[in-house]
Structure 1
Amino acid sequence: MTLQILTSDLLSDARHGFFTRRGGASSGVFAGLNCGAGSSDLSDVVAINRGRVASAMQVPPEGLIGVHQVHSADVVTVSAPGAQGKADAMVTDRPGLALSILTADCMPVLLHDPEAGVIGAVHAGWKGALGGILERTLEAMEDLGADRSDILAAIGPCISQSAYEVGPEFLDAFVTEDPEFEWFFANGEGDRYLFDLPGFGLKQLRDAGVAEAEWIRHCTYHSPEMFYSYRRSVHQQEADYGRLISAIRL
């Protein structure tokens, strides 16, 4: 099966893609393009999947760069292939390096300053987003010569508000940071709330002063034929779940 790669018109000047689960070699609960080496999928099959992504990005396998994601606000500046350590975002101004991040409900955010020739890739769950991962990524891009007023950002497939049920302690963590963050919560059943993760990410990007930002409007939870979803796997009591990959290169 051919790979299915979603793109954003905002990032048309950079080779990029939000890869769906279609076109991979994995089977069972991982069926499709599982690119998560941290999953319990067969490592050689994951390597095949990642090789297909590298080929689509027109880089050798070692040119598909990733980090050990830990839901932090840490950013790595990449200058060469190789292990990048623990972080949740990467930036570079080096052509030929594809920055990639893995998600399964969290936001994959790809960024490009076409004037300065600087790119970024971010794994942003609620914890990283609240902790400032997007702002820190913009700062790291600026350190490479980017101007945030020229930076274009696209949020890829992630969990939508209708599927993201949270408890009152979750709401408290946000309104303690800023009472206006309550705007991103809708009432659910009982004491539960529904959190708008992509809406929160968009507000942070726009408030930070990027040129333009968008969510490409695909929900990982509600489209099992296209996307892996951690939350869906929990609800279905599956033993594990696949990881989607998103990548960008100059």
Structure 2
Amino acid sequence: MTLEILTSDSLSALRHGFFTRRGGASSGVFAGLNCGHGSSDQTEIVAINRARVADAMGVAADHLTGIHQVHSADVVTVTSPLDERPKADGMVTNTPGIALAVLTADCQPVLFADADAGVIGAAHAGWRGALDGVLDATIDAMIEIGAQRENIAAVIGPCISQQAYEVGPEFFEDFIAGDPENSRFFANGKEDRMQFDLPGFGLARLRAAGIGSAEWTRHCTYSDPDRFYSYRRTTHAQEADYGRLISAITL
């Protein structure tokens, strides 16, 4: 099966893609394009999957660059392929030939570009990272290496949608403690549960940062098991592990 790669017109000047699980070599609960070394999938199979992604991105396998994602607001500037993965959740570069890649399985994968300046970024933005400012920090890091704020385009890829994201009252309190206006990203659920709009929150943060454009591809990872891995869906199904989707961009 060939790879399925979702793209955006906003980033069309550069090679990029939000890869679905289709077209990979993994089997079992990981069936498809599992690109997560952190999973219990076979190491050599994950390497095959990542090599397919690198080929699709037009870079060498060791130039498909990732980080050790920890749900932080930390961002690294990449000038050459990384020998080790630093703990961070955002990356930026102005070096051609490097593909910045993030892994997700419900969290937001966000790709950024100022094509005119030749600056790109990628961020892994779960609720904690998004709340703590990883999207804003990625934009700031891009500007530090030559991007113009008003020329930056950002696209949120497949992630969990509000309909599938049930949270408790403590979660809600975390968000409104810093800004009561964040209540608009929550809808009433069953009993004391609420439904959180993760991509809506991400879009609001991106637009408030004053960049040129921001959008979401409108794909829900939880509700489409044939195309996407989902941590929450795996948890509900009591499966042993889950695959990781990859999203990447290169100059």
Task: Tell me whether the two structures share a fold, i.e. TM-score over 0.5.
Answer: yes
State the one-letter code of the partner of 1:210. I
Deviations 1:191-235 (A, max 9, x none): 000000000000000000010110000000000000000000000
C-alpha distance in structure 2 between counterparts of 1:119 and 1:84, whole Å: 18
Does the alignment pair 1:235 with 2:240?
Answer: no
Partner of 2:47 in structure 1?
A: 47
C-alpha distance in structure 1 between counterparts of 2:13 and 2:198, whole Å: 27
C-alpha distance in structure 2 between counterparts of 1:145 and 1:29, whole Å: 42
C-alpha distance in structure 2 between counterparts of 1:200 and 1:223, whole Å: 21
Partner of 2:80 in structure 1?
A: 80
C-alpha distance in structure 1 between counterparts of 2:139 and 2:248, whole Å: 17
Partner of 1:4 in structure 2?
A: 4
Does the alignment pair 1:18 with 2:18?
Answer: yes
Partner of 2:160 in structure 1?
A: 159
Provide the secondary structure at the position in 2 that maps to 1:234.
helix
Q: Which runs of 5+ in 2 are unaligned?
A: none
Provide the secondary structure at the position in 2 that maps to 1:56.
helix
Partner of 1:132 in structure 2?
A: 133
How many residues align? The count is 250
Compute the displacement of 1:134 (Å): 0.5
Mapping for residues 98-109 of structure 1, pairs under 5 Å: 98-109=99-110
Compute the displacement of 1:105 (Å): 0.1
Provide the secondary structure at the position in 1 that maps to 2:130.
helix
Deviations 1:22-61 (A, max 9, x none): 0000000000000000000000000000000000001010
State the one-letter code of the partner of 2:208. D
State the one-letter code of the partner of 2:74. D
Deviations 1:106-146 (A, max 9, x none): 00000000121100000000000000001100110010011
Partner of 1:68 in structure 2?
A: 68
Is contact 1:76-1:84 (8 Å) kept? no
Partner of 1:147 in structure 2?
A: 148
Does the alignment pair 1:247 with 2:237?
Answer: no
Compute the displacement of 1:175 (Å): 0.2
Compute the displacement of 1:84 (Å): 3.5
Partner of 1:208 in structure 2?
A: 209
Q: How much identity, in percent, do the aligned residues show?
A: 68
Partner of 2:219 in structure 1?
A: 218
Provide the secondary structure at the position in 2 that maps to 1:226.
coil
State the one-letter code of the partner of 2:203. L
Provide the secondary structure at the position in 2 that maps to 1:44.
helix
Provide the secondary structure at the position in 2 that maps to 1:95.
coil
State the one-letter code of the partner of 2:67. V
Provide the secondary structure at the position in 1 that maps to 2:203.
helix
State the one-letter code of the partner of 1:228. Y
Provide the secondary structure at the position in 2 that maps to 1:153.
strand
Partner of 2:199 in structure 1?
A: 198
Provide the secondary structure at the position in 2 that maps to 1:214.
strand
Partner of 2:90 in structure 1?
A: 89
Q: Which runs of 5+ in 1 are unaligned?
A: none
Compute the displacement of 1:147 (Å): 1.0
Provide the secondary structure at the position in 2 that maps to 1:140.
helix
Partner of 2:175 in structure 1?
A: 174
State the one-letter code of the partner of 2:25. A
Q: Runs of at least 4 residues of structure 1 off by over 4 A?
A: none
Two-structure CA RMSD over aligned residues (Å)? 0.5
C-alpha distance in structure 2 between counterparts of 1:216 and 1:148, whole Å: 21
C-alpha distance in structure 2 between counterparts of 1:123 and 1:158, whole Å: 11
